[in-house]
Structure 1
Amino acid sequence: MENKLPAWDDLRVLLEVHRGGSFLAAGLQLGLSTSTVARRIGALEKDLGRALVHRTSQGAWLEKEALELIALAERFEQSLRAHRRDEGGRSPYAGRIRVSVPDGFGGGAAEAATRFRRLHPETQLEVISELRFVDLSSREADLGVRGGRSSSPVLIDKPLGEVESGLFASGDYLSRSLPKRFLGADDYREQDFVVEDETPRGQGPSRWLMQRGAARFPFRSNSMEARLHAAKGGMGLVMLGLGASKDHPELLPVRLETPLPSLRFYLTMHKDLRKVPRIREFAATFEAVFAEYLAAQAAARRRPRR
């Protein structure tokens, strides 16, 4: 059987491994997970019938045959850029991507957009963080992050992972109101909570807290940024995803007798868009960013309580 010709997508991964010196660096540049980079390199080696890259604890080094492919990939990359300039930006990635995310996911979407634009500056990205989810089935947005599977037959959902949350508060609040930093079954009624401004009240996170006796909600807001600011100012306990806690060192975790319920999220799109190059690749970039969030979540779960 003749060896297959290498695909450009796989050559581009090899090129970034060469430039970055590791699978991790290549993944960060391309917006892919390390496992996806390894899978792409493995596919390239299988197509060509020989080993190209060797991984070590210090990084990755390439065989001589791989360096010849690197030169080919660089020439192709230069030709592709010139062609895109000649075409006046009419590349498969020219156009807009509109992404709808829940409150609190805007930072991750912006990070994915930043990585994507490094590779495809011809793409325009819009991120909408909103309480009312746009209608993906009628194409009000191209991609949406949702806390459950869709029921529409024209939409497809890809699982992103399960987000775990905890309760956090400022050191000032804890020293005044919860010095033991432990919330038992009978402690909720005596604590202040910073929560979403929900309608009707008693739904979502507030409902979970109220079921445990919480009754004091001195600050409500539909903005995650506002809730975090209030909690940092000592107004009460706030729910925060474990994967995001590393970005808010001013907030300290509270041990819980009953863990908060976790929520599985999905990346949803219209099935007609799954073959559009810019949509497909941005979805992969967002998945890589979310995978990093889940890794930070696992690290926070293992981290000793201060």
Structure 2
Amino acid sequence: MENKLPAWDDLRVLLEVHRQGSFLEAGLQLGLSTSTVARRIGALEKDLGRALVHRTSRGALLEKEALELIALAENFEQALRAHRRDSGPSSPYAGRVRVSLPDGFMTAAAEAAARFRRWHPETHIEVISELRFVDLTAREADIGVRGGRSSSPVLIEKPMGDILPGLYASTEYLARALPSRFLGDGDYARQDFIVEDENPRGQGASQWLTQRGASRFPFRSNSLEARLHAAKCGMGLVLLGLGAEREHPELIRVGLATPLPGLRFYLTMHKDLRRVPRIRGVALALQEVFAEYFAAQAQVDARARRDNSRPKTR
């Protein structure tokens, strides 16, 4: 397999390791954790197919091949600085912002990115759907949207609102298994449910359903797209945020005797990043879009509570 060309971000890390003589000092200069520096060097070595740096008790020692890359990186760095001087003062919004969110929030994140870039097209926004909490303390992402709080003293968190879930199913499934389109507290054992994989923190929706007698989970997936398709194929009831019927008219919300509990989400970032203009701006755009979403969801919830005040029959 042909070796990949090295990325500038990785070359920049190698250059700083060469200048500082250790992964620790290079990380301090770049604002990265030692583990992130090691991971970047490992990625560079993998792309090139050979070892470049050896960590010893005396620091980091570079191979001869690495010194050739150092010369390349220094030439590129000088050219980049010259270009910036010729282009005049750079915008404080120029650069990349990396955002980590759960799968179901990708549309909202894209909307926030589009709004922000209308005013600041020099900002490049990278939105990542991840199944784990990225390490914001190690700067694996600049902004995280999380369904839970952190205990880290270096992170700041802002409550964004509560996701209010509902249960949805296809017309075919409801006609076959729940013609009343209403789920009483004693009905869960007789229904099929489509859920995510078990939440590693033990707080997933399947635990709430199990507490009410649910035991039939014919389909589990961490992919929202897969869960939606399974529900549309009639495999069972799926958990979605209230108002999902607007985007997925093939699915019908069922009435619930006991509403599902909401889950509070937080916008989280490293406290050292809150004054970086592009990161602060993207965070504000995310807050704006999510505020609109939560307001619309509250209206749907109010209607749902009125509709669920008595069982529905057909």
- TM-score using structure 1 length: 0.68
- The amino acid across from 1:91 in the alignment is S
Q: Alignment RMSD, CA only?
A: 2.2
Task: Give the match's secondary structure for 1:217.
Answer: strand
Q: What is the letter of the counterpart of residue 198 of structure 2?
A: E
Q: For 2:292 and 2:85, how far apart are their aligned partners in 1?
A: 34
Question: 1:11 matched to which residue of 2?
Answer: none
Give, in whole Å, the separation in 2 of the partners of 1:202 and 1:191: 22
Q: Which residue pairs with 2:214 in the alignment?
A: 214
CA contact (8 A) 2:149 2:157 kept: yes
Compared with structure 1, are the counterparts of its residues 121 and 202 closer, same or farther at alpha carbon in structure 2 (3 Å cutoff)?
A: closer
Aligned pairs for 1:143-182 within 5 A = 143-182=143-182
Q: Is the 8 A contact 1:160 1:287 kept in 2?
A: yes
- 1:238 corresponds to 2:246: no
Paired with 2:169 and 2:263, the residues of 1 have a C-alpha distance of 21
Query: Following the alignment from structure 1 to structure 2, what is the Cα–Cα distance between the partners of residues 201 and 265?
Result: 15
**1:254/1:297 Cα in 2 relative to 1: closer, same or farther (>3 Å)?**
same
* SS, match of residue 194 in structure 2: strand
Give the match for residue 291 of structure 1.
Answer: 291
- The CA deviation string for residues 256-296 of structure 1, in whole angstroms up to 9 with x for no partner, is 11211111111000001111111111111101100111122
What amino acid maps onto 2:149 in structure 1? R
Q: CA 1:276 to 1:269, structure 2 compared with 1: closer, same or farther past 3 Å?
A: same
Gaps of 5+ in 2: 1-83
Q: Is the 8 A contact 1:198 1:222 kept in 2?
A: no
> In structure 2, the residue corresponding to 1:160 is in which secondary structure?
strand
Q: How far apart are the structure 2 equivalents of 1:85 and 1:176? A: 69
Contact 2:160 2:266 in 1 (8 A): yes
Q: Secondary structure at the match of 2:126?
A: strand
- How much has 1:298 moved relative to structure 2? 1.8
Does the CA contact (< 8 Å) of 2:193 and 2:237 recur in 1? yes
> Does structure 2 retain, via aligned residues, the 8 Å contact 1:243–1:298?
no
What percent identity do the matched residue pairs reach?
Answer: 71
Structure 1: which 5+ runs fail to align? 1-83
Report the alpha carbon displacement of residue 299 of structure 1 after superposing the two structures with TM: 2.3
Give the Cα–Cα distance (whole angstroms) in 1 for the partners of residues 260 and 203 of structure 2.
Answer: 15
SS of the residue corresponding to residue 209 of structure 2 reads helix
Q: Which residue of 2 is the match for residue 26 of structure 1?
A: none
Write out aligned runs for 1:1-306 (5 A): 87=87, 90-198=90-198, 204-303=204-303, 305=307
**Aligned residues of 1:149 and 1:157 also touching (Cα < 8 A):** yes
State the distance in 2 between where 1:201 and 1:85 align: 50
One-letter identity of the residue aligned with 1:252? I
Aligned length: 223
Partners of 2:297 and 2:86 in 1: CA distance:
45
Offset from partner CA, 1:44-93 (integer Å, 9 cap, x none) = xxxxxxxxxxxxxxxxxxxxxxxxxxxxxxxxxxxxxxxx9973682111
CA contact (8 A) 1:137 1:270 kept: yes
Return closer, same or farther for 1:85/1:125 CA change in 2, 3 Å cut-off: farther
Retained in 2: the 8 A contact 1:244–1:293?
no
Mark the CA change 1:252 to 1:108 in structure 2 (over 3 Å): closer, same or farther: same
Larger Rg: 2
